Amino acid sequence: MTVSPRTDKIKLGAFIHPTGNHVAAWLHPDAQIDAGTNFEHYVEVAQTAERGLFDLMFIADAITVRDGDVNALKRWPQYMAFFDPMILFSGIAARTKHIGLVATSTTSYNEPYNIARRYASLDHVSGGRAGWNVVTSANASEAWNFGREEHYELNERYDRAVEFVQVVKGLWDSWEDDAFLRDRESALYFDPAKLHTLNHKGRHFSVKGPLNVARPPQGHPVLAHAAASDVGKDVAARTAEVMFSHVPELEQAMAFYADMKARVAKAGRAPDSIKIMPGLNAIVGRTRREAQEKHQFLQDSIHPDVGRELLSNALGGMDLSPYPDDQPFPDDVAERMMSHKNPRYFHMFRDRLTPREMYQHYAGARGQRTVIGTAEDIADQMELWFQSRAVDGFLVQPAVLPTGLEEFVDLVVPVLQERGLFRTEYEGRTLRENLGVERPVNRYAHEAMEKTAGAPV
């Protein structure tokens, strides 16, 4: 079956690990070594992404120090000391104009009112550029920072998350868009008929409302998800507008894309109302040899302790001590791991890689796809995936920061623009406008319109 050429444009996000996505990035001489606590570094990265006309900048978050083997962790600074992204983005919002600001916040160890207020505030501060990556905490040690002896069970986490998002969206509609009159002549600051109390009472939350922040400029900040399970994909189909996926191979990506678009349609939404953006670990050089040398430097810098700790985490805490670095896993182990069909590492066991080959493969991309080559090579791959309807865009993960993002913006973006695949200017001022997703109508205003439309003439 021939796939018709697309007329829309590739969407781009920048996924920012402080020193870069590769686990050995901090050892590279170009990396900002104190990046985790260097505000100006983040500003520089955000401004570079904005210069490249990226849709958004994404910062993942965790609310605990990474747990594990201290002999490995002492050589691996990611997720050890870093800013709260909401505070960080409030500062970045003042130093940028167009780029979307998307942060992770867990539904497991927050309250809906706090999250609704923070993201509504960020949306106002940034002029409509906020996005929330909705997650349920996967790290059980986070529980211990919030008065719990054990983590929420998986189904409870998802059930809580669904209700959590419902409450947050309800709070964002507390005020209608034109509720604030601010009329000195009549001495009326707001119209009481356009203030709404949520009065939510559910299994997990009881929230009266209303929110003490005006309705966000985008109506609701953009919602992002990164789910892989069927339950998670169903939740995303109902609520997400951006989907950060983990699909390292084209056929997998095409199947995932078709599946998600079908789920979105089944949920009563337009398929284009969600943008599928898998990770892309792009290492670009002016020649293929230069790109390979950049990649090899990072691979050679991986300390074995870090590599094995990273791989163990990726494999669900698997004990790797019985398995030598340079021998493939026994057939029974490989077949057992493949039976889980986790796309992040299924192909590594299928291809019978050794632990060292696995952790070197995983170190730079976390199960995402790595593309190494010239700007034309990388653009070729991006175009293929886009035109094959495997993606709507990509979450670019620079291996080293700030230089990796600068090289992508200076070398790859112009090629995409020359091919008509990527914008040459921002379409609007808000993240929704640039992504091409609709601004939601306030539920109470919508109900009032429906009642008016149904009233007898």
Q: Which residue has the tokens 């809580």?
A: 160
Name the pLDDT band for 457 (thresholds 50, 70, 90).
Answer: very low
The number of beta carbons lying within 10 Å of the beta carbon of residue 75 is 17
CA gap 55, 41 in Å, rounded: 19
pLDDT at 1: 45
Beta bridge partners, 282, equal 371
Tell me what the mean pLDDT of segment 286-293 comes to: 97
pLDDT at 66: 77
Residue 153 has pLDDT above 90, yes or no: no
Note the pLDDT tens digit of each residue in 49-86. Answer: 999 999 999 999 888 777 778 888 888 887 778 899 99
What token pair was written down for 227?
């789910």
Q: Looking at 78-166, which runs of residues are DSSP E strands?
A: 100-106, 130-135
CA gap 176, 124 in Å, rounded: 15
CA gap 335, 246 in Å, rounded: 21
Largest CA distance in the chain: 81
Query: What are the counts of helices (DSSP H) followed by strands (DSSP E) for the chain?
Result: 17, 14
Residue 431 has pLDDT above 80, yes or no: yes
Residue 191 has pLDDT above 70, yes or no: yes
Helices (H), 247-366: 250-266, 288-300, 304-314, 331-338, 346-350, 355-365
CATH class of segment(s) 11-289+368-451: alpha beta
Q: Domain coordinates of the chain in residue numbers? A: 11-289+368-451
pLDDT at 439: 97
Note the pLDDT tens digit of each residue in 325-366. Answer: 899 888 888 888 777 656 566 777 787 889 888 888 877 777
The number of beta carbons lying within 10 Å of the beta carbon of residue 294 is 21
Q: Write the CA distances from 216 to 122, 295, 338, 353, integer angstroms.
A: 9, 42, 45, 49
Name the pLDDT band for 155 (thresholds 50, 70, 90).
Answer: confident
Tell me what the mean pLDDT of segment 140-159 comes to: 81
Q: Count CA atoms closer than 13 A to 316's CA, side-chain side.
A: 6
CA gap 135, 104 in Å, rounded: 7
pLDDT at 63: 81
Tell me what the mean pLDDT of segment 379-383 comes to: 98
pLDDT at 451: 65
Q: What is the mean pLDDT of the chain?
A: 91
Residue 95 has pLDDT above 90, yes or no: yes
Residue 196 has pLDDT above 80, yes or no: yes
What proportion of the chain, given as a percentage, has pLDDT over 90? 68
Residue 5 has pLDDT above 80, yes or no: yes
Residue 3 has pLDDT above 70, yes or no: no
pLDDT at 435: 98
CA gap 260, 266 in Å, rounded: 10
SS3 content of the chain, % helix, strand, coil (to 5): 45, 15, 45
Coil, helix or strand for 103? strand
Q: List the single range of 375-384, 416-425, 447-456 with lowest mean pLDDT.
A: 447-456
pTM: 0.92
pLDDT at 450: 60
Name the pLDDT band for 206 (thresholds 50, 70, 90).
Answer: very high
Residue 189 has pLDDT above 80, yes or no: yes
pLDDT at 158: 87
Residue 414 has pLDDT above 90, yes or no: yes
Residue 423 has pLDDT above 70, yes or no: yes
CA gap 173, 445 in Å, rounded: 9
What token pair was written down for 368?
């995402």
Tell me what the mean pLDDT of segment 371-392 comes to: 98
